[in-house]
Structure 1
């Protein structure tokens, strides 16, 4: 996956410069950004904060004038460019950075072509866009990696009691472990994560204050985990903790 060719398209009206460093580091986990474009009306002073960030990270600004008040020409320009890049058949996936539901159909269309869509947006992002992506990452967890005041917005680590009281989280984990488990009840962490992501594209252990899924599972305290050496690698296996009689 790390060799996937990705196109990164950013909606400047719905993203903040503070997330860019964390954003590009996150994207590097999934592939290489061969195209990095950001869309907005660069004649407007509210986008001035982007200039230094764009130069430092070689992101190409695309000018889109606001021809009519109340109409978002930026969205249209992004969608047109995305379709052009899709038809060029040079990419394995797209990264759409916006909190705007207008990109829901675009994400669905790209996936229909067999490409992977990674969405990035704030927690206010409407559910239709989040679920239209293969994976959706909240930008609050990315801002938390930057040395800015926005780091305060990064999710705090939840206690075991809080995690156990999250019915949606517990049902998601238990269901994935059961689906991925073998006859002995043990399930590989990678398979668990894959099942969870298919069911809930916006799931991310960092939303609960844990860097990795393994840490989140251990933090709950209701599951057993063990490390196994398979081939040349180490793999973590998890199972529901068996109550002692």
Structure 2
């Protein structure tokens, strides 16, 4: 199961959203890290939030933001974590989201309705938390420096990819991405070199609503996510 990292800007997000945050994060996989960054000596309510580890950031300017960002990159680079939930309404975290995408991570942003468009667009996807919780479909510009956007609709090519995974899958473990390349070329004469993404990993990573990817490696596998495909032919 996919391991999920949840990092909350506790100076920006109320503890009243704690249960909803974990519910949304749990849909993505197994929550293995769940931290909230704030002044631990303050009366924020996060100490009583079940399932959250409070990380004391002190009272300095942007202290919580800095510590959260450092931990996120450490988890991505040192521990190879690939599924992040960043919880904030602060647009400054758009830089962190973009850098995580640069390292092939999937980033779900959670925040209140006041969250600026720059943060929403920097994430793979964004959802509003609060009384008017609603999923916001965001597609970052293709020309963005990290080159990753959130695509949540399946095309004819995606249906072919799904069929290849169905036909050749190893139980719940999926198909090796390298093997998928061979299968699509052999059975459909589809060559990734003719598409803008250039590699199948880039293509699949830009569609986190459709596919779940292993971290980079010679035997990395891809699985399709049934929910979006359930309404497709």
Give the TM-score category using the shorter length. Answer: 0.5 to 0.7
**Cα contact 1:7–1:93 (8 A) shared by 2:** yes
More helix by share: 1
Q: Distance in 2 between matches of 1:180 and 1:93?
A: 24
Structure 1 residue 96 corresponds to structure 2 residue 83: no
Structure showing greater radius of gyration is: 1
Corresponding residue number in structure 2 for 1:236: 231
**Divergent runs of 4+, >6 A:** none
Query: Could you say which residue in structure 1 is the equivalent of 2:174?
Result: none
Q: Deviations over 1:69-105 (max 9, x none)?
A: xx21110111111111111133121110000011111
* Counterpart residue number, 1:51: 47
Alpha-carbon RMSD: 2.6
Whether contact under 8 Å (1:5, 1:90) holds in the other structure is no
Aligned residue runs from structure 1 range 62-77, under 5 A: 62-67=55-60, 71-77=61-67
Partner SS state of residue 11, structure 2: helix
5+ long unaligned stretches in structure 2: 135-151, 158-205, 210-228
Are the equivalent residues in 1 in contact too, given 2:2–2:83 (CA < 8 A)? yes
CA distance in 2, matches of 1:155, 1:90: 31
Alpha-carbon offset, residue 155 of structure 1: 6.0
> What corresponds to 1:154 in structure 2?
132
Deviation at 1:65, TM superposition (A): 1.1
| Number of residue pairs matched by the alignment | 148
Q: Residue deviations 1:3-37, cap 9 Å, x none?
A: 21121111111112222112111111111111111
Q: Which runs of 5+ in 1 are unaligned?
A: 141-152, 157-175, 183-197, 202-233, 239-245
Distance, in Å, in 1 between the alignment partners of 2:133 and 2:30 is: 27
* CA distance 1:43–1:131, shift in 2 (3 Å): same
2:19 matched to which residue of 1?
Answer: 21
TM-score, normalised by the number of residues in structure 1: 0.54
| Per-residue deviation, 1:43 | 1.3
* Rounded Cα–Cα distance in structure 1 between residues aligned with 2:69 and 2:80: 17
Alignment of 1:1-245 (within 5 A): 3-45=1-43, 47=44, 49-53=45-49, 56-57=50-51, 59-67=52-60, 71-140=61-130, 153-154=131-132, 180=155, 235-237=230-232
Counterpart residue number, 1:146: none
